[in-house]
Structure 1
């Protein structure tokens, strides 16, 4: 005995010759399977994504749910090179100091703060301003407590062995780690 198939799109019983099955338990009339956003018909010629019981074309799924740049908010294409800093991810062109807009490249020292991404120089200016406002001592620089220890001393010329980048000192400035991150796809 044939089991009864109900269309997720319209709720009616499916009597058609073909049933479109999306995910193990979602069945559709061919005329009912559409993108929840743009209402494009979805068939065997396009990729279909399901989230929270709704179907999406690839373009809308990536736009709504794909990983986005932490600076500009736009999605990444598969050909984009990106920069990562802890849990943040940026287009290469967006990986810039929030204060001076200088593009940061692998090997540059930077600070990832709650208020943005900063080059070493602008971070130090912000720290001095914060310290003078709070009447605190100068920022404590401590190379031994870095979360990314490249085993270099200040002024060493051997570079970052872990990421194979040119020499620079990795520093920890009051809970803000300045470190290197290389390109990844």
Structure 2
């Protein structure tokens, strides 16, 4: 078994961001341009991670799906500890695997942002009800502005004092499949 396992959730999130930023190229030379939006991954975040794990296995990497050891432990891809050189190759393969899948859905409409806000506030309220202080409840307008500026703490538990974070995650674990 592995001496120590590493999660690729952070790595996957970083590469997904890089991939999404790099995907904004012009195709003026395309003789048949389309005006439809690109398809997005239709499954849950867990199913997305499972698809990436299958791709990594097919490429020869020894990965498996497991449960995060972090409080609230959601599903994640587990891999053995890699050396710096191995990690670079692994990171490249994660990017390749993610590029082989449709992109993850992103909040693009006001209706989707309202849905995300409702989910976020439900989690925020759980923390308040459990006796934690995630700060004052943001209005939808404030939430939307913070989200669009790229400064939103995606998990309200990240807003509680650091010394309370683990207990807050245990009291109100995030649902990894509730929202991307």
TM-score (norm 1): 0.23
Which of 1 and 2 has greater Rg?
1
Give the number of the structure whose residues are more often helix, by fraction. Answer: 2
Give the number of the structure whose residues are more often strand, by fraction. Answer: 1
TM-score (norm 2): 0.24
Q: Which has the higher contact order (CA 8 A, sep 6+)?
A: 2
